[in-house]
Structure 1
Amino acid sequence: MSSIQSPDIEFCNVSKLFGDFVAVHEMDLSVPKGSFVALLGPSGCGKTTSLRMIGGFEMPTSGNVLVGGRDMAGEPPYRRPVNMVFQHYALFPHMTVETNVAYGLKQQRPRLPRDEIRTRVGEALEMVQLGHLAERRPHELSGGQQQRVALARALVNRPQVLLLDEPLAALDKKLRTAMQIELQSLQRDLGITFLLVTHDQEEALSMSDLVCVMNEGRIAQLGEPGDVYNDPASLFVADFVGKTNMLSGEVAGLSDGIAEVRLDNGTMTSARAREGLAIGSKATVCVRPESITLAASQSNATGTVHNRIFLGPSADYAIDVPGLGRILAQVPAASAVHAAGANVSIGFEAGTAIAFPS
């Protein structure tokens, strides 16, 4: 992330209503200049509406949207210092790949020299691995190739802010991973602000400097990827971002930010306490699968392996624990293999469990 912390994008008490439906509710957001930020959340949480308000395709019902310190009220999309990569491509079907990418450059005033346009278009196409398809038309390309053309068309103008509406959704896994690396490298090289909308948690955590988790039109948590994953601010964030085991229990003790929780099967466990817990209150203890140890010498519970899924470097175990239900554990594949039906002891790595009010 850039060391310059002046915001490129600001939401000041922004709300957006569609009739009686509140898509975005009194949202305050500051996106640092030169950063890569992901808006992450389930369908209907307001992330795409927020992106469209920055791009000028929706206007806020109340509040102010600023880009580069300038209020965008009343500014049409073509006058904003942003470019947007749409989820559904929006390519010109009668143009070749090359002329699609060159279109924005040809509209600039004063006009750019032809050689400069040709050079920049070539660089953009090579970046998305489509230089050899420059003369084809969109209908001759796969969905993933069309999405890459849309990406090149947006990047070739080198906007102050690039808005990305799930731009990699149509790509296969291998190419999507390669494009994630390319996007990160490009963002660092150009130093422009990238704002990515996605429902793919892995994509958001792996690509961005900051993750903004949204729910019901509000920001549930804004922070660095490691903080959002390892230190979720709410039960919603813990449940939505990544896989987690949610264990019910009752608070038996509280001291120095640590809750002693009696789980529903009678087992006592320690967890980092979130606000709102009180002795005797119901709690939900969240533990990531990779934080669970199998056959630990000091166990929290004993269960039976339901099944094992081999994932290459790791293996997922579904373990049925009486009184707690099914627990997911992820362990190195090289560790001891436990067959379906085997009894195992499980434990939590110290400091990894978090207790939330139920």
Structure 2
Amino acid sequence: MENKSEFDIEFRSVTKRYGDVTAVTDVNLQLERGAFVALLGPSGCGKTTCLRMIGGFEQPSEGTVSVGGEAMNGVPPYRRPVNMVFQHYALFPHFDVETNIAYGLRQIRPRLSDAEIRRRVGEALEMVHLGKFAQRRIHEMSGGQQQRVALARAIVNRPRVLLLDEPLAALDKKLRIAMQIELQNLHRELGITFLLVTHDQEEALSMSDRVCVMNAGRIVQFASPQEIYDNPADLFVADFVGKTNRLPVSIETTDGRTGSARLNNGASILLDRPSGIRSGAATLSIRPESIRLLAAGSNGGQLTGRVTHRIFLGASAEYSISVPGVGDILVFADRVAGGPADLFDPGAEVELQIDPDAPRIFYD
């Protein structure tokens, strides 16, 4: 199939219903060739349903799903230029590694020669660093090795799009981080479009070029990882992607660019938003790492409070600060080299310093 479009995947007004339940609502999406995109959202948001519609395991109730400019509605999975790596890999336990990877190649018509199959299987094994494991049985492989076998089986057919359905969920943290790097390297080497479904925010932000955040069957924001994190489209994105403090305030402004936010305890936070602000009730979203902790009496902070909890993380610490009239505020603080003296103990009084451009404003 010749690629007639600059987009490898397109959703045009796609809706998917299961009886009275609408899983996906009027989704429009375009993924450029060679992109690495993460579909991110909570359970039940519709991300896996979108992936399955691309793979051909589900059909849209309305709208069109296209791959490489060709409409895929009604086309069975085995006739689509896509392959999927499932969460539980779906390997054949009674086959060895080589036979698992070669299975899809042996279904191609007209048939490939045995020599061509061996060559392509060998190439796929080398890509995932399993060249010496061709004859190994699946049950003899570790979880990470099985994940690599599943990847090799998916790429050996040279798909236009590789679909990844939470492929790292079953791995421990250390191995998951290692496989994130492997997937990024594999994406650069192959140059094909990767679409990853995950509910792990860190995984989505660290691996992909673009992130598509979904909620309740709809796309909420589609942007770069940095844009998603630094400029969330709404409070759902701000809450779901990373951690944030939500503070109800009353905005006071005179010029539409600068102003102040008055909190429930009467304290005021200066605001500087070049994109414009307006007066009225609002909610401030402030990332924990955007707040600086100062010792009590520094007179450099807008808020004062008391440390109620501290979680030591080695290079940093996570604090919960109780601010009278406001509530608990979460703060992440990088440690200063030199020992434990840079840490605030539970019970300590502190000041919170917030830069004018740190808060994101969401109006009620």
The TM-score normalised by the length of structure 2 is 0.90
Q: Which moved further from structure 2: 77-86 or 300-309?
A: 300-309
C-alpha deviation, 1:86, in angstroms: 0.9
Q: Quick check: 1:16–1:23 contact (8 Å CA) kept in 2?
A: yes
Q: State the Cα deviation string for residues 137-174 of structure 1 (Å, max 9, x = none).
A: 33344444333321221122221000000011112222
Identity of aligned pairs, percent? Answer: 61
Q: State the Cα deviation string for residues 10-59 of structure 1 (Å, max 9, x = none).
A: 00000001111111100100001110000000001000000000000000
C-alpha deviation, 1:257, in angstroms: 4.5
CA distance 1:215–1:272, shift in 2 (3 Å): farther
Q: State the Cα deviation string for residues 212-240 of structure 1 (Å, max 9, x = none).
A: 00000111000001000001111110111
Q: Quick check: 2:257–2:276 contact (8 Å CA) kept in 1?
A: no
Q: Quick check: 2:163–2:194 contact (8 Å CA) kept in 1?
A: yes
Amino acid corresponding to residue 352 of structure 1 in structure 2: A
Tell me the distance in 2 between the aligned counterparts of 1:256 and 1:9.
40
Which residue number corresponds to residue 355 of structure 2?
A: 349
Which residue number corresponds to residue 325 of structure 1?
A: 327
Within a 5 Å distance, the mapping from 1:154-173 to structure 2 comes to: 154-173=154-173
Amino acid corresponding to residue 224 of structure 1 in structure 2: S
Q: Quick check: 2:97–2:137 contact (8 Å CA) kept in 1?
A: yes
CA distance 1:105–1:270, shift in 2 (3 Å): farther
Asked if 1:303 is matched to 2:305, the reply is yes
Which residue number corresponds to residue 118 of structure 1?
A: 118
CA distance 1:272–1:130, shift in 2 (3 Å): farther
Cα RMSD (Å): 2.3
CA distance 1:158–1:43, shift in 2 (3 Å): same
Q: State the Cα deviation string for residues 43-84 of structure 1 (Å, max 9, x = none).
A: 010000000000000000000001000000110000000001
Within a 5 Å distance, the mapping from 1:25-104 to structure 2 comes to: 25-104=25-104
Asked if 1:315 is matched to 2:287, the reply is no
Tell me the distance in 2 between the aligned counterparts of 1:74 and 1:345.
61
Amino acid corresponding to residue 78 of structure 1 in structure 2: Y
Tell me the distance in 1 between the aligned counterparts of 2:214 and 2:62.
19
Structure 1: runs of 5 or more not aligned:
none
Tell me the distance in 2 between the aligned counterparts of 1:23 and 1:310.
41
Q: Quick check: 1:128–1:179 contact (8 Å CA) kept in 2?
A: no
Secondary structure of the equivalent of 2:233? coil
The TM-score normalised by the length of structure 1 is 0.92
Amino acid corresponding to residue 211 of structure 1 in structure 2: V
Amino acid corresponding to residue 307 of structure 2 in structure 1: V
Q: State the Cα deviation string for residues 101-152 of structure 1 (Å, max 9, x = none).
A: 1111222234334344334323433444444443333334444433332122
CA distance 1:257–1:163, shift in 2 (3 Å): farther
Which residue number corresponds to residue 238 of structure 1?
A: 238
Secondary structure of the equivalent of 1:181? helix
CA distance 1:271–1:54, shift in 2 (3 Å): farther
Which residue number corresponds to residue 8 of structure 2?
A: 8
Structure 2: runs of 5 or more not aligned:
none
Tell me the distance in 2 between the aligned counterparts of 1:119 and 1:264.
69
